[in-house]
Structure 1
Amino acid sequence: MKEPAQEWLTQAVRQVEADPDAVHRLFPQAERRGGPGARRALLGALRGHHATIRGLYEAGDSGERLAILTVLHELDAEGTAVGLVEDALRTNDARLVAAALGPYGAAWLDDHSFRQGVLKCVFMSIPLAAVAELDRRFDAELARMLSDYAAELRAAGRPVPGDVLERI
């Protein structure tokens, strides 16, 4: 016999597969009713339904947005949802900013937006280890930006984060 959470999740995934719009009703209650990983499972059932995923993100709370950003690289192989990542980079929620620079953001953000996101991580004290593909995307312009920021910190008598020092 299945546990109640597993049963709920199994039924919810079936409903979303049959009718993607059902996710709007199920997604907000997924973690509470289906347990950890339930949002991921519902999002997996939406593979290819980019407009629905965008709608969930736009209507979602920060936890729901975080769930979407975390699995976006599994849901969208064309980069059509890069606007969600750009939106997350405009927030002041460190969890969303870090998730925005995960695998999907590393793959689809243009160079300027990626650099700005990395700099925002430094401003928000998000470790650079959270940035996916940083070694691959690191370039002379990002090095210059980080070096300039480090100089500003030193001039203000403030410490430069160790992960920034390692990069400049």
Structure 2
Amino acid sequence: MTAPTTTVAPATVHHTLTLRALAEGLGSALGHDHRARLARDLEAVTEQGPAALDSRFPAAGRVYGRGRLSGWAGWSIEDGVRTRLLTRLDLEGPELAHELTDRYRTGDAAERRGVLCALPFLPLGPHALHLTDDALRTNDNRLIAAALGPYAHAHLDQYRWRQAVLKCLFTGIPLAKVAGLHERRDAELARMAAGFAAERRAAGRTVPADLWLIATHHS
């Protein structure tokens, strides 16, 4: 089964977020031997299912590298590899969400990021929102940023989405990392941002320079 592509583009990524673009990006980033190995690993997941991920998913960083993935703001090579591996699973909906939950719960921070990055590429519907919620409760800025990608833009309800955006202001995550910010910002978020700014000024603290992105709202 081939996972559907998404046409939602995060504000910091200047191309359409598709599996084809991801495959091309990894193809440019990896050397010949690693490209060949990735092809074999992808085929193994297609043929063997989740069991093939047991060793390959955790090892993605060690095997393929942890450097930045050029053209994919905030992504590393291992994020891209893990995403491609997960898209080869012949699962969907609750069954796929259960598999992702296992990978997320037992993985380290890098593996959790890999799961979060993969969400918009997978046939999940809203069934993986508990993973987004978990990441947003952490104090790990890389997990929070990954959780606010196209999947959250498509599925997170407006109340939780506003709270997540406000957490970005508190933790110093650039608002440009929030997928769909301009489409989903509203008057209530602008009110919350104004209150946040007033509290910061009263405490003699600086106001994030990018707060203006949500401080005003035009219907």
Q: Same fold (TM over 0.5)?
A: yes
Deviation at 1:3, TM superposition (A): 4.0
Determine which of 39, 42, 54 is the counterpart of 2:85: 42
Determine which of 58, 80, 84 is the counterpart of 2:131: 84
Between 1:42-51 and 1:97-106, the stretch displaced more is: 42-51
Residues 29 and 140 of structure 1, relative CA distance in 2, 3 Å threshold: same
Determine which of 86, 110, 115 is the counterpart of 1:63: 110
Cα distance per residue 1:79-131 (max 9 Å; x no partner): 21111111110111101111111111111111111011001100011111111
Deviation at 1:134, TM superposition (A): 1.0
Contact 1:8 1:33 in 2 (8 A): no
The 1-side partners of 2:63 and 2:161 are apart by 36
The 2-side partners of 1:68 and 1:76 are apart by 13
Q: Residue 176 of structure 2 corresponds to which residue in structure 1?
A: 129
* 1:10 corresponds to 2:39: yes
Code of the residue aligned with 1:155 in structure 2: it is: A
* 1:20 corresponds to 2:25: no
The 2-side partners of 1:110 and 1:155 are apart by 31
Contact 2:41 2:56 in 1 (8 A): yes
Residues 166 and 105 of structure 1, relative CA distance in 2, 3 Å threshold: closer
Number of aligned residues: 167
Q: Residue 99 of structure 2 corresponds to which residue in structure 1?
A: 52
Contact 1:40 1:67 in 2 (8 A): yes
Secondary structure at the counterpart of residue 146 of structure 2: helix
* 1:115 corresponds to 2:145: no
Normalised to the residue count of structure 2, the TM-score between the two structures is 0.70
Cα distance per residue 1:7-57 (max 9 Å; x no partner): 332222122112222212220012322453321221121262332122111
Q: Tell me the C-alpha RMSD between the 2 structures.
A: 1.8
Code of the residue aligned with 1:29 in structure 2: it is: A
Contact 2:82 2:118 in 1 (8 A): no
The 2-side partners of 1:89 and 1:68 are apart by 14
Contact 1:6 1:34 in 2 (8 A): no
Code of the residue aligned with 1:134 in structure 2: it is: L
**Higher share in helix:** 1
Gaps of 5+ in 1: none
Cα distance per residue 1:110-166 (max 9 Å; x no partner): 111101100110001111111111111111211111111111001011111121134
Between 1:137-146 and 1:10-19, the stretch displaced more is: 10-19
